[in-house]
Amino acid sequence: MKILVPVKQVASIDGDFTLDGAGELDPRALHWQANEWDAFSLEAALQLAESSSAGEGFEVVVVTVADEHGEEGLRACLAMGADRALRVWDPALAGVDDPLAIAAVLAAVARREDPGLILCGVQSSDSANAATGVALAGLLELPRVAVVTAIEQDGGGLTVQRELDGGAVEVLRLSLPALLTIQTGINEPRRANLRAIKLARSKPSATLALSDLDLDVSDVREVAGARTVRLLERGRGEGASMIEGPAEAIAGRIVELVTRELRA
């Protein structure tokens, strides 16, 4: 069985940055790193592949929709144990980060690869839409479960647990092919060792253009759910009253506050 694992490099802003008058961000303020959720979805895929009965071949394929920033993430996935990597990019996709648009691109990849299982992260830590995976399932009309915290193979299908708001857990059975969105904490993602990192260089990886997927950029833009008008500084509400000074002074003030509030 083939398992497709969509991954993403997320952008974070550290330290100082400024928005220009039009509400746009200087891209030089961005730092890139692997999305926290993806290590868990890839690990889940690798564990399923490893636990499979001998003879049944598994292939774990990672895919990203990204410019060159995506390469580093894919290499890390190959080093962790993925068998093959795909990067979809087209200059026309620059600036497209809408979850439905990305899902449309991934759907074309999935139609081509025909995986038995797709494992996405619940969300990415930069935009936190928590939507790409389930949108992809919708486009492919695949059975899906969101926010999965445990997976077991169960005959020809899967038994999974999903996390509900409030801490309850629902245990569900579904058949394959299927798509799951994976929650952090489901497993302990492995770290790649040096040998694996070297080995990763010889694993197959390919870059696809939209035309390779029979997609037109207008198809992708048309599915996009929203358009960003501008970026704004975050409103800080009332904001906290800040305690200044060395640790000693901070601790002193905290003791004071706690004592007062618990008495009140």
Ligand X SMILES: Cc1cc2nc3c(=O)[nH]c(=O)nc-3n(C[C@H](O)[C@H](O)[C@H](O)COP(=O)(O)OP(=O)(O)OC[C@H]3O[C@@H](n4cnc5c(N)ncnc54)[C@H](O)[C@@H]3O)c2cc1C
- Cβ proximity of 82 and 5 under 8 Å: yes
Q: Quote the longest CA-to-CA distance of the chain.
A: 68
**Which residue, among 255, 205, 178, has the nearest Cα to 62 in the 3D structure?**
205
Pick the stretch among 53-61, 79-87, 167-175, 191-199 that binds another protein (CB under 8 A): 167-175
**Which residue, among 1, 110, 116, has the nearest Cα to 50 in the 3D structure?**
1
Q: Which of 122, 192, 210, 223 binds ligand X (CB under 6 A)?
A: 122
In the complex, the smallest distance separating the C-beta of residue 132 from ligand X, rounded to whole angstroms, is 13
In the complex, the smallest distance separating the C-beta of residue 7 from ligand X, rounded to whole angstroms, is 16
In the complex, the smallest distance separating the C-beta of residue 247 from another protein, rounded to whole angstroms, is 4
**Which residue, among 181, 172, 168, has the nearest Cα to 130 in the 3D structure?**
181
Pick the stretch among 22-30, 82-90, 189-197, 199-207 that binds another protein (CB under 8 A): 22-30
Taking CB under 6 A as the rule, does residue 124 contact ligand X?
no
Q: What are phi and psi of 235, to 5 degrees?
A: -70, 130
Q: Which CB atom, from 122 or from 215, has the smaller least distance to ligand X?
A: 122
Look up residue 16 and give its amino acid.
D
| Rounded distance between C-alpha atoms, residue 120 and residue 4, angstroms | 8
Touching another protein, residues 180-219 (CB under 8 A): 181, 184-185
| Rounded distance between C-alpha atoms, residue 130 and residue 122, angstroms | 5
Q: Which CB atom, from 10 or from 208, has the smaller least distance to another protein?
A: 10
| Rounded distance between C-alpha atoms, residue 255 and residue 125, angstroms | 34
Q: Which CB atom, from 35 or from 205, has the smaller least distance to another protein?
A: 35
Touching ligand X, residues 125-154 (CB under 6 A): 147
Taking CB under 8 A as the rule, does residue 19 contact another protein?
yes
Taking CB under 6 A as the rule, does residue 85 contact ligand X?
no
| Rounded distance between C-alpha atoms, residue 27 and residue 88, angstroms | 21
Touching ligand X, residues 147-206 (CB under 6 A): 147
- Cβ proximity of 100 and 224 under 8 Å: yes
Touching another protein, residues 29-48 (CB under 8 A): 30
CA-based angle 10:11:14, to the nearest 5?
Answer: 135
Q: Which does 257 bind (CB under 5 to 8 A by kind): ligand X, another protein, none?
A: another protein
Q: Which of 22, 56, 166, 194 binds another protein (CB under 8 A)?
A: 166
Give the footprint of ligand X on this chain (CB under 6 A): 122-123, 147
